[in-house]
């Protein structure tokens, strides 16, 4: 293997092992590789960083983040929980199912797993404990529900994946609808089975007036995903434009209808979003240089030839990818993994005849599980922090939920219908 290629990957792995932040690990690896390549100059680094960040599609990332933060701080989580509780709280294990349903609703608003776990978990964890559910199990429900945040659109991770690999972002967003809902239903079924097995308490009886009253309170919150996805379905606006629309909609709802946010609060939310966006865009810029070097060194072609030498079917390839993504998700966040591996694995999947939209959905879904796995599961840590429970106890309670998600990941890997039905139906 060429010395610049060894420097690119060797520097990256060493930097990550010794604890260098991912943004600087990527940058250092690119500098080392360019320094050892006589055909490249350092100016290429600045050029590719600018080109990588100068993307219209990436404007959707700060906009979706801002919209999610506005809705998170605008009192929506309590309204969504009340509505879900009025619908399904009477079922065995109803409050745990309500937590999963509320996470699914909120995921379709925030597009973020961490925001979903934090917003829903802060309300649902105390309620579950008050009703007699085990503390570790109650925290695990909040963590696993948050993983739906990067699958159900709008999803910031899908925007990043589409930008870095060139796959249609609109198609990727639409591909997450059925898998997200299906996984949510299976997680709810697991909650029901656990409730029956352990005699967990039921909630209040089903009453139509309560459903209607809670629906009216949650109506404007429920309309947000309808407006975003409906606008994309009908080709009224692009995903980037939909993100901006969601910001204005969130401001109108939270400031003038629900009146839970004032100008001072909005300014603070905007500042926090700007900080997070700046960090993310720096990561994207560094990853763009890395992806460029991966391409000019023909890394995808080399890896494809290597894979083809021992992996001659797409089925075996998908099994290997599932294993790789599960392990990678244990140590790095979703965005970092996609920025590093996306340019390498996406062309490889195409060479096996796998639809790029399906592959994108599988990668994002499997990586979402990493947010609930040791040692660096972000949703797991947030749930542990909210509950005050030890991480190890929450991790043990998550095992059954993770088995459900592994089953879903394999199903989505080998049954393309789940991810391709809606995009194909809409002619995307």
Q: Give me the residue spans of the domains in the chain.
A: 42-425
Instruction: State mean pLDDT over 265-285.
Output: 82
Instruction: State mean pLDDT over 8-22.
Output: 84
* Per-residue model confidence (pLDDT) at position 203: 66
* Per-residue model confidence (pLDDT) at position 63: 80
Dist. CA 412–CA 428, nearest whole Å: 19
Question: Is 1 a residue whose pLDDT tops 60?
Answer: no
Average pLDDT, whole number, for the chain? 83
| 257: DSSP letter | I
Question: Is 413 a residue whose pLDDT tops 90?
Answer: yes
Most confident listed range (88-97, 180-189, 279-288): 180-189
* Per-residue model confidence (pLDDT) at position 418: 93
Instruction: State mean pLDDT over 100-117.
Output: 77
* Per-residue model confidence (pLDDT) at position 360: 93
* Per-residue model confidence (pLDDT) at position 411: 94
Number of alpha carbons in the 13 Å side-chain half-sphere of residue 69: 19
* Per-residue model confidence (pLDDT) at position 414: 93
User: What does pTM read for this prediction?
Assistant: 0.78
Question: Is 98 a residue whose pLDDT tops 60?
Answer: yes
Confidence of residue 175 (pLDDT cuts 50, 70, 90): very high
* Per-residue model confidence (pLDDT) at position 406: 92
* Per-residue model confidence (pLDDT) at position 204: 65
Dist. CA 86–CA 212, nearest whole Å: 9
Dist. CA 91–CA 162, nearest whole Å: 39
- CA angle centred on 65, ends 178 and 68, rounded to 5°: 70
Q: Which of 207, 187, 188, 192 shows the shortest CA–CA distance to 92?
A: 192
């Amino acid at each position: 293997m060429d010395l610049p290629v060894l420097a690119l990957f060797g520097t990256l792995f060493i930097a990550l092992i010794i604890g260098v932040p991912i943004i600087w690990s990527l940058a250092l690896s690119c500098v080392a590789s360019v320094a050892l390549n006589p055909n490249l100059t350092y100016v290429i680094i600045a050029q590719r960083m600018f080109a990588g960040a100068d993307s219209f599609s990436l404007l959707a990332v700060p906009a979706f983040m801002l919209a999610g933060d506005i809705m998170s701080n605008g009192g929506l989580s309590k309204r969504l929980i009340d509505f879900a509780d009025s619908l399904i709280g009477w079922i065995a294990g109803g409050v745990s199912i309500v937590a999963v349903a509320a996470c699914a609703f909120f995921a379709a608003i925030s597009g973020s797993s961490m925001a979903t776990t934090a917003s829903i978990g802060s309300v649902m964890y105390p309620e579950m404990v008050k009703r007699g559910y085990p503390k570790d199990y109650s925290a695990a429900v909040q963590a696993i529900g948050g993983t739906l945040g990067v699958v159900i659109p709008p999803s910031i991770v899908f925007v990043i994946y589409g930008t870095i690999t060139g796959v249609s972002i609109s198609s990727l967003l639409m591909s997450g609808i059925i898998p997200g809902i299906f996984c949510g239903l299976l997680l709810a079924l697991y909650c029901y089975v656990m409730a029956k097995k352990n005699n967990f308490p039921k909630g209040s009886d089903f009453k139509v007036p309560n459903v209607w009253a809670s629906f009216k309170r949650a109506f404007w919150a429920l309309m947000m995903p309808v407006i975003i996805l409906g606008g994309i379905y009908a080709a009224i606006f692009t995903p980037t434009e939909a993100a901006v629309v969601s910001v204005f909609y969130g401001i109108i709802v939270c400031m003038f209808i629900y009146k839970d946010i004032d100008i001072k609060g909005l300014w603070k939310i905007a500042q926090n979003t700007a900080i997070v966006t700046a960090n993310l865009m720096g990561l994207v810029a560094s990853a763009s240089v890395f992806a460029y070097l991966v391409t000019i060194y023909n890394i995808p072609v080399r890896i494809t030839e290597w894979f083809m030498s021992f992996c001659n079917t797409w089925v075996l390839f998908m099994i290997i990818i599932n294993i790789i993504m599960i392990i990678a998700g244990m140590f790095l966040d979703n965005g970092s993994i996609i920025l590093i591996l996306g340019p390498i694995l996406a062309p490889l999947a195409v060479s096996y005849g796998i639809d790029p939209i399906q592959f994108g959905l599988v990668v994002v879904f499997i990586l979402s599980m990493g947010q609930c796995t040791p040692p660096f599961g972000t949703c797991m840590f947030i749930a542990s922090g909210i509950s005050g429970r030890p991480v190890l106890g929450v991790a043990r309670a998550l095992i059954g939920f993770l088995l459900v998600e592994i089953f879903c990941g394999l199903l989505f890997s080998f049954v393309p219908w789940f991810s391709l039905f809606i995009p194909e139906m809409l002619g995307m």
